[in-house]
Amino acid sequence: MDKKTIKDVDVKGKKVFVRVDYNVPFDEHQNITNDTRMVRTLPTINYLLDHGAAVILACHIGRPTEAREPQFSTKHLVKHLSELLNKDVKWASDCVGPEAEKLAADLKPGEVLLLENLRYHKAEKKNDPEFAKQLASLADLAVDDAFGVSHRAHASNAGVPKYIECVAGFLMEKEINYIGKTLEAPQHPFVAIIGGAKVSDKIGVITNLLDKCDTIIIGGGMAHTFDAAKGLPIGDSLCEPDKYDLARDILKKAEEKGVKVVLPLDLAVANMFPLADAEKWKKEGKMKVVDVDKVEDGWEALDSGEKTSKAYVEALKGAKTVIWNGPMGVFECDEFAKGTLAVAKAVADATDAGAISIVGGGDSVAALKKTGLTDKISHVSTGGGATLEFLEGKEMPGIAAIADK
User: Which residues are marked as active site?
Assistant: 37, 198, 362, 385
Reduced to 3 states, what is the DSSP secondary structure of residue 5?
Answer: strand
For residue 2, say whether it is annotated as part of any ligand binding site.
Answer: no
For residue 296, say whether it is annotated as part of any ligand binding site.
Answer: no
For residue 60, say whether it is annotated as part of any ligand binding site.
Answer: yes
Where helices occur in 230-304 by DSSP H, the ranges are: 244-257, 278-284
Residue 366 CB neighbour total at 10 angstroms = 14
For residue 361, say whether it is annotated as part of any ligand binding site.
Answer: yes
For residue 37, say whether it is annotated as part of any ligand binding site.
Answer: yes
For residue 404, say whether it is annotated as part of any ligand binding site.
Answer: no
Contact yes or no for 70/26 (Cβ under 8 A): no
For residue 244, say whether it is annotated as part of any ligand binding site.
Answer: no
For residue 86, say whether it is annotated as part of any ligand binding site.
Answer: no
The CA distance from 196 to 86, in Å, is 39
For residue 23, say whether it is annotated as part of any ligand binding site.
Answer: yes
For residue 21, say whether it is annotated as part of any ligand binding site.
Answer: yes
**Distances in whole angstroms, Cα of residue 294 to Cα of each of 58, 63, 285:** 54, 44, 19
- Kindly provide the b/e burial profile for residues 56-86, where b requires at least 16 CB atoms within 10 angstroms of the residue's own CB: bbbbbbeebeeeeeeebbbebbbebbbebbe
The CA distance from 161 to 154, in Å, is 11
For residue 248, say whether it is annotated as part of any ligand binding site.
Answer: no
Strands (DSSP E) along 275-375, which ranges?
287-291, 300-304, 321-325, 356-359
What is the layout of strands, in order, in the sheet containing 190-194?
Answer: 260-262, 215-218, 190-194, 321-325, 356-359, 379-380
For residue 22, say whether it is annotated as part of any ligand binding site.
Answer: yes
Q: Which residues are annotated as a binding site?
A: 21-23, 37, 60-63, 119, 152, 202, 332, 361-364
Q: Which residues are annotated as a binding site for (2R)-3-phosphoglycerate?
A: 37, 119, 152
Q: Which residues are annotated as a binding site for ATP?
A: 202, 332, 361-364
